[in-house]
Amino acid sequence: MKRKEAFQQIIGYKFNNISYLTTALTHSSYLNESGNKNHSKCNERMEFLGDSILGLCVAKYLFKEYPDYPEGKMSKLRALVVCENTLSDIAEKFGLGDYIYMSNGEELTGGRKRKSILSDAMESVIAAVFLDSSFEVAESFVLSFIIPYIRDAVSGKLINSDFKTALQEKCQALGKKVSYELTGETGPDHMKMFESAVYIDGVLIAKGEGKSKRESEQNAAGKCLKEL
């Protein structure tokens, strides 16, 4: 309980139902490790919800604060802000990695610093705040840390290292279509590795590996950009 109390102080939000925070901080590997019977859910479903809430908060802020921006420009700015790199950076500032429940195997392989795990957990925390309160409260929570990133994106200071977005934009400019395919999974559930392939107009260009499907696609896209 001390772990969760400390994290609540860091983020400046006190949960009414602490089970939401428990789930948000639980990585799937933790459930697969023997002896961890007090946690029945991991944060994968919350990650899905948190991603949508974050996207809506950023879209609403851009819509209200930059009334002259067209839809296309707002979409690009939102994609620049709502990405793994931004979320993992925010998570690191909160020290979120120290509070995640994960398996010993995941921790030994650097899980507490892995961008994909940190960004997913950050999205899950956003969802937990929403489920525990309201959209308005969750929005205030999100804006308390996301506004500087939005302003950096608007000013051009936020560098896009979201390789998938960069590749998509490059291919759109060239009139080409990008697609991804999961080509392999190896290892036990708590230490699974994924391999994804990226295709341009149906032609295989590169493959990438990662600890999650998202990470493997990002790495494949990064290699593809170098090829192009």
CB 198, CB 216: distance < 8 Å: no
Contact 135, 143 (CB under 8 A): no
> Catalytic pick from 47, 51, 139, 215?
51
Cβ–Cβ under 8 Å, residues 196 and 217: yes
Indicate if 123 belongs to the active site.
yes
* Residue 152 known to be catalytic: no
DSSP state of 66: -
Indicate which residue of 47, 106, 120, 123 is catalytic.
123
Place of tokens 């200071």: 157
What does the block give as tokens for 24?
A: 């948000």
Write the burial class of residue 35 (CB in 10 Å: 0-12 exposed, 13-18 middle, 19+ buried): exposed
Helix (H, G, I), strand (E, B) or coil at 129: helix
CB 121 within 8 A of CB 24: yes
Residues with active-site annotation: 51, 123
